Structure 1
Amino acid sequence: MNKKLEHYEFMEGSSSREGQLPFYIGIHAYPTTVLNYHSFVEFTYIIDGSGYQSINGTLHRMEPGTISFLPPYHIHQMTSDNGCVIRKYCCLFDMNLLFGSPYASEWTEQLYQIGTVFPSSVAFCGEEAAKMKNLFAQLLMEYRNPEPRGRNHMICNKLSEALILFLRIAAAGDPAAKPNEREDGNSLFWTALHYVHAHYTERLTLDMVAKYLHISETYVSRMFREKTGRSFLVYVHQLRINSAASMLIMTDRTIMDIAFDTGFESPRTFYRVFKEIKGQSPKEYRNANLCRPGLS
């Protein structure tokens, strides 16, 4: 392989200045992008041009009206058809923007199912495409003008509207893939899940999640078993191994580097858990997937 993985920790155009909205949107135009991942969400709308986008090793067709949602740490790369330029709205933001409302969990919990239950990319057509394009245009207009009263609130509202429409169309494309109806009392679990997805590449323990939520470790453990069918540790290991598997087949990074990049403190533990989940050692998995279509 000859693939270099780029990691972007900060959003383009963003600032770490206290009080500034962790949000960026612009119109990007290029024929290809480098293989990369980042700690923020990327939400895009293809304006014109066509090609393919690889997301965690899976190819997705891109044409005008295609919308993609890339959660943090998803590895992706874009290549256009015949070297043509692809223009797209590129929206980058911190997931925490979406968790201010007490009603947010009615839909934000479903964002964690993108890439598994729901597709990462969806082709919008007709009125739906026009509506989404208009929402991205309004987001860009609000972003470029820092003066209007209520600007940040307007950005959060428009962003939420666009994401909800994306989820509706994604679910409508496969009715069998719709998630279970939300039960009352689940908000604490989804707060815990959000925290885990935001920090699984770092040192993360049951005690840390419990302290963040101000509840007992026993309660956190029980929530994960009831809602996911897995223990907390198994759930975190699955997240880390899925991320590591993508890095193994999409990059030239060493196995030891990948182990540390995905949150494992010990290469020995990484090797053991990887084989338990994937049925192969990291090296065997990488070699077996080198020739997969779209990854070379």
Structure 2
Amino acid sequence: MLPLYLTEKDNNFSFEISIHDIKNDVYPHGHSFLELHYVFEGQGIEKINGIEHIMKPGTFAVIFPYQIHEMHIIKGSEVHLYNLCLSAKTLFDQDEYGLVMNKLLFDIDLNARTIYDMDEDTSEKVFTLLSEIHAEFKEDEIWRNFMLKAKIVELFILFDRYRRSLVAKENNSLRTTMGNDTWSIIHYVYKNWNTNITLKSLSQLFYLSEPYISTSFKQCLGISFHAFLRDLRIENACSLLTSSKMSITDITYEVGYLSYSTFVRVFHARKGVSPAMYRQIIKDNAVKT
């Protein structure tokens, strides 16, 4: 089965937390946002980019954008977990919050593991903090977003400290497969997706070979450079089709395509309908609701 790709709900999406009660298997899927989850009851097996890990109380997983993961629930069992989703924008923001999250997240070795079984003391702290985040998220109190951001940073600091303590015990040096050059390239593409970006132009800009850049994207994100750029453009096109009255021709050029026919072909291949039909479907659904 080909994996599904989930995308951010809208341009205002920043973070969302919920409790999932999982009774059935979760099919392979990836998404354009960051996801983490913490299991507090039940057992199962999770695969992240094909690597299996047993899920049990105390299991904490970080799923990076475009990584493929799936879950298999033990028959007769249920898995209960906190699920926290963070917009990709969070990882690229240049404010203090974004820079802290960037540092905490991208020290992680994506080719090693991003799923951990926490000890009892750390598990208790993580569970308490996630409960507080969940309660705060459901309310609409003054300073809500500031409080949520502070608690989310605290959560990732707890995770980072635990991860580093394990590395120290295993006598391994902290390292990252997403080197500074690769992360700089991904950051650049994310910020300039609607310009005429190619592997050749990136190679010239960053003084790195095209094969190196191509391989780095695949290793770090589990998706090729061209697929990453295509998905950024198509999802932003969907947003414009939904929220603006721009013509499809104007949207074509706005999201970085130089050819109307190419845009329509790529859009149909990803969404199963033409841009015009997509806009009409969204409009009809809005009327029904």
Indicate the TM-score class for this superposition, using the shorter chain for normalisation: 0.5 to 0.7
Report the CA distance shift for 1:27/1:235 in structure 2 as closer, same or farther (over 3 A). farther
1:178 to 166, 171, 174: 174
How many equivalent residue pairs? 221
2:50 is the counterpart of 1:57:
yes
Q: CA deviation at 1:75?
A: 0.3
User: Match of 1:165?
Assistant: 158
Q: CA deviation at 1:112?
A: 2.9
Q: CA deviation at 1:67?
A: 0.6
Is the contact between residue 90 and residue 101 of structure 2 (CA under 8 Å) also seen in structure 1?
no
2:83 to 69, 86, 90: 90
Q: Can you list the C-alpha shifts for 1:48-92, whole angstroms capped at 9, x where unaligned?
A: 011111000111121101110011000000112234110100011
Report the CA distance shift for 1:36/1:117 in structure 2 as closer, same or farther (over 3 A). closer
2:214 is the counterpart of 1:237:
yes
2:146 is the counterpart of 1:153:
yes
Aligned mates of 2:147, 2:209 — CA distance in 1: 37
Aligned mates of 1:84, 1:203 — CA distance in 2: 50
1:30 to 6, 19, 22: 22
Residue identity matched to 2:155: A
Report the CA distance shift for 1:165/1:149 in structure 2 as closer, same or farther (over 3 A). same
User: Match of 2:272?
Assistant: none
Structure 2: which 5+ residue stretches go unaligned? 231-289
Is the contact between residue 80 and residue 86 of structure 1 (CA under 8 Å) also seen in structure 2?
yes
User: Match of 1:10?
Assistant: 8
Q: Which stretch shows the higher mean deviation, 81-90 or 61-70?
A: 81-90
| TM-score, normalising length: structure 1 | 0.62
Is the contact between residue 26 and residue 89 of structure 1 (CA under 8 Å) also seen in structure 2?
yes
Aligned mates of 1:196, 1:259 — CA distance in 2: 9
Aligned mates of 2:164, 2:210 — CA distance in 1: 29
Q: CA deviation at 1:96?
A: 2.5
**3-state SS, counterpart of residue 114 of structure 1:** coil
Report the CA distance shift for 1:135/1:204 in structure 2 as closer, same or farther (over 3 A). farther
Q: Can you list the C-alpha shifts for 1:128-170, whole angstroms capped at 9, x where unaligned?
A: 111111111111111111x211111111111111112212212
Aligned mates of 1:56, 1:221 — CA distance in 2: 28
Report the CA distance shift for 1:238/1:196 in structure 2 as closer, same or farther (over 3 A). farther
Identical-residue share of aligned pairs (%): 23
Q: CA deviation at 1:107?
A: 6.1
Is the contact between residue 41 and residue 69 of structure 1 (CA under 8 Å) also seen in structure 2?
yes
Is the contact between residue 9 and residue 38 of structure 1 (CA under 8 Å) also seen in structure 2?
yes
Q: Can you list the C-alpha shifts for 1:211-265, whole angstroms capped at 9, x where unaligned?
A: xxxxxx96x515xxxxxxxx26344311443489x68xxxxxxxxxx8964558x
Structure 1: which 5+ residue stretches go unaligned? 181-185, 210-216, 223-230, 248-257, 265-296
Residue identity matched to 2:85: L
If asked which structure has higher relative contact order (CA below 8 Å, sep 6+), I would say 1
Is the contact between residue 73 and residue 243 of structure 1 (CA under 8 Å) also seen in structure 2?
no
RMSD over aligned Cα, in angstroms? 3.6
Is the contact between residue 41 and residue 94 of structure 1 (CA under 8 Å) also seen in structure 2?
yes
1:221 to 197, 202, 206: 206
Q: CA deviation at 1:95?
A: 3.3
Q: CA deviation at 1:94?
A: 0.9
Report the CA distance shift for 1:195/1:128 in structure 2 as closer, same or farther (over 3 A). farther
Is the contact between residue 119 and residue 170 of structure 1 (CA under 8 Å) also seen in structure 2?
no
Report the CA distance shift for 1:40/1:107 in structure 2 as closer, same or farther (over 3 A). closer
2:63 is the counterpart of 1:70:
yes
User: Match of 2:32?
Assistant: 39
Q: CA deviation at 1:203?
A: 7.4
Residue identity matched to 2:16: Y
| TM-score, normalising length: structure 2 | 0.64
Is the contact between residue 34 and residue 65 of structure 2 (CA under 8 Å) also seen in structure 1?
yes
